């Protein structure tokens, strides 16, 4: 419905593009993020579409739980727009699907909910396990909890250091976070692969870089993903930047 309204000229794309791309809507389950111009006329059309959607499907949007987050919009104009749409006001950064979204690099305090989850897992399970079980928990749970963050964001070194502290405690000392029991092996040795004499525990700093490199692969190979197309069309092409790529004859892929 939003794309039809765009094609009819009722809604316009907030970011100009050279292709006929879809309207920028991010949706997962019942969480929907719509990027729109800060214009009262656009909000009227959007609210009419939401009302039509409710009449057709019976699914009603709860405006009390909805939030309007401004980007380069004055406080007075934001008050008028929020009153027009009937929702509350928010600020950047805000949390969407557990990730902090904003125009600047997330600070360490934005990752504290993830650190708290690791601490709760440490306290709740490791006291009932032997060394082999604690190794399994370290690999399968504590090493996996930050993965969702690491796929999109560069985790600060201090946060990785804190999570590694919990993983070391889980492996060597159980749930007692204040225990002074010394570890049985250095952490660098523990994070080596088993064929090299380690325990195969993932190094979070290296995993973070590897996961972020997947985004570079999508970008340089122009995978059909909205953010990739947006960057290529609005920054690389329209702004006149030049990307120099090199082909590997053996692999036949762009690196």
Q: What local confidence, expressed as pLDDT, does residue 209 receive?
A: 93
The verdict on pTM exceeding 0.85 is no
Q: What local confidence, expressed as pLDDT, does residue 43 receive?
A: 86
- pLDDT, mean of residues 183-196: 87
Q: What local confidence, expressed as pLDDT, does residue 42 receive?
A: 85
Q: CA of 125: how far to CAs of 117, 128, 129, 136, 176, in Å?
A: 12, 6, 7, 11, 11
Structure confidence by residue, pLDDT tens digits, 104-148: 888 888 899 889 888 887 766 666 778 888 888 888 888 999 999
pLDDT band at 150 (very low <50, low <70, confident <90, very high): very high
Q: Provide the 10 A C-beta neighbour count for residue 99.
A: 17
Structure confidence by residue, pLDDT tens digits, 18-47: 555 677 777 777 788 888 888 888 888 888
Structure confidence by residue, pLDDT tens digits, 40-93: 888 888 888 888 888 888 888 888 888 888 888 888 888 888 888 888 888 888
> Does the structure show a pLDDT above 50 at 178?
yes
Residues in the chain: 255
Q: What local confidence, expressed as pLDDT, does residue 29 receive?
A: 73
In three-state secondary structure terms, 245 is coil
DSSP string of 124-175, one letter each residue: HHGGG--HHHHHHHIIIIITTTTHHHHTTS---HHHHHHHHHHHHHHHHTTT
Would you call 155 exposed, middle or buried from its count of C-beta atoms within 10 A (0-12, 13-18, 19+)? buried
């Amino acid at each position: 419905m939003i794309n039809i309204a765009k094609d009819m000229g009722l809604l316009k794309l907030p970011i100009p593009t050279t292709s006929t791309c879809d309207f920028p809507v991010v949706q997962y389950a019942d969480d929907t993020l719509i990027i729109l111009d800060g214009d009262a006329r656009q909000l009227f059309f959007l609210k009419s579409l939401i009302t039509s959607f409710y009449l057709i499907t019976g699914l009603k949007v709860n405006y009390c739980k909805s939030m309007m987050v401004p980007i380069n919009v004055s406080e007075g104009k934001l008050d008028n727009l929020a009153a027009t749409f009937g929702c509350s006001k928010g600020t950047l950064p805000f949390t969407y699907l557990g990730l902090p979204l904003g125009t600047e690099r997330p600070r360490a305090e934005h990752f504290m909910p993830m650190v708290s989850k690791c601490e709760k897992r440490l306290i709740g399970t490791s006291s009932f396990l032997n060394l082999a079980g604690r190794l399994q928990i370290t690999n399968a749970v504590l090493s996996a909890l930050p993965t969702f963050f690491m796929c999109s964001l560069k985790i600060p070194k201090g946060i990785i250091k804190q999570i590694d502290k919990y993983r070391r405690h889980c492996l060597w000392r159980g749930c007692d976070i204040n225990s002074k029991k010394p570890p049985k092996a250095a952490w660098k040795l523990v994070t080596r692969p088993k064929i090299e004499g380690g325990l195969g525990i993932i190094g979070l700093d290296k995993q973070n870089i590897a996961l972020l490199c997947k985004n570079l692969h999508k970008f340089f190979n122009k995978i059909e993903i909205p953010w990739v197309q947006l960057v290529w069309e609005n920054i690389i092409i329209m702004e006149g930047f030049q990307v120099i790529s090199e082909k590997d004859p053996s692999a036949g892929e762009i690196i």
